[in-house]
Amino acid sequence: MEPFSIFSLGDILMVSVQEEIDDSSIERLLHSLGNQVSKNKAKAVIIDMHEVEVMDTFLAEHIEGLVSFLHMLRSRVVVAGIQVPVALTLIDFNIRLKNVEFALDVEQALSRLR
Amino acid sequence: MNSISATTASQRICAAVTPANSLSRIRTKARALFNSLHIRKQPATELLTIINELGGNILRHAGRGEICVEMLIQEGRLGFRIVATDSGPGIADIKKASQPGFSEDNGLGLGLSGITNLSDKVQIDNLLPHGTRVEVIKWLSP
């Protein structure tokens, strides 16, 4: 089973990411998302991180890459559901995830995008 | 003199880090250890992030290796020693590798400096004839 899943909510795509995501599955996620964004003409993508309990620099790097990729496809991206201990640890690691829009949860992300 | 005493074998866990099992084994074992010791969520997240970071380095630079996590007690304080070993190419410049922004593969370059920020001691040694051993000690606040 892939460590991610993609759902379509009209013109918004939602990607649920699990922490087991690695270098090879991120490649498959990029391909899959690229296809779905053009097929569905998605105006926005929500990346739901609420299941992720550990975010290291490798995962942060993948998320930054994913967001840049989606910006190139003219999609708005909102990263939702980052847990408080994860956010605090990111600060300790000096990881800032620049140019990324955040929401507390998927509900907040959806209301902002609609 | 401060002595650090390791506790019984049940409070030390080890797991191989390989491309096949990735980091899932060590993560599962470490989580179970922290849960059994009722470690709070914030320090547990920090410890798991250190383990992930060390494991990610093993997978990217050496392919495979091992991580051990051991509980420590010193003067009533609880801490953990995390040791990551591999038989990869080693680190050419250990001092440089610990500085923010250094990356051998164009990554974020924040890994080892991030680990330093989150822990009390980081010791990196190149092993002979090849390989790397990284030892991290983190004490928990009471």
Q: Which of B88, B45, B74 is nearest to B137 (CA)?
A: B74
Percent of chain B with pLDDT over 70: 80
Q: Per-residue pLDDT for A8 more than 80?
A: yes
Best mutation target among B17, B45, B104 (most A Cβ atoms within 10 Å) is B45
CA distance A72 to chain B (A): 20
Provide the ipTM: 0.80
Domain edges within chain B: 8-139
Give A38-94 pLDDT, tens digit per residue: 888 899 999 999 999 888 888 888 888 889 999 998 999 999 999 999 999 999 888
CA distance A51 to chain B (A): 13
- Of A19 and A39, more confident: A39
- Using an 8 Å Cβ cutoff, are A80 and A17 in contact? no
Q: What average pLDDT score do residues B64-93 get?
A: 90
Percent of chain A with pLDDT over 70: 100
Q: How many domains does chain A have?
A: 1
CATH number at residue A23: 3.30.750.24
Count CB atoms within 10 A of the CB of residue B115: 27
Q: Which distant-in-sequence residues (6+ apart) come within 8 Å of A39 by Cβ?
A: none
B49 interfacial to chain A (CB closer than 8 Å): yes
What's the CATH superfamily of B8-139? Histidine kinase-like ATPase, C-terminal domain (3.30.565.10)
Band the pLDDT of B3: cuts 50, 70, 90: low
Give B109-137 pLDDT, tens digit per residue: 567 888 999 999 999 988 888 899 999 99
- Which residue of chain A comes nearest to B115, CA vs CA? A93
Count CB atoms within 10 A of the CB of residue A30: 15
- Using an 8 Å Cβ cutoff, are A78 and A113 in contact? yes
- Of A62 and A15, more confident: A15
- Of A27 and B46, more confident: B46
> Range of A13's domain?
4-113
Res B8: pLDDT: 45
Q: Whole-model pTM?
A: 0.84
Rg (CA), chain B: 15
Q: Is B63 left (phi over 0), alpha (psi -120 to 50) or beta?
A: left
When CB atoms are compared, the residue of A23, A56, A85 closest to B52 is A56
What average pLDDT does the structure give for chain B? 84
Measured between beta carbons, which residues in chain A are less than 8 angstroms from residue B17? Answer: none
Q: Per-residue pLDDT for B4 more than 70?
A: no
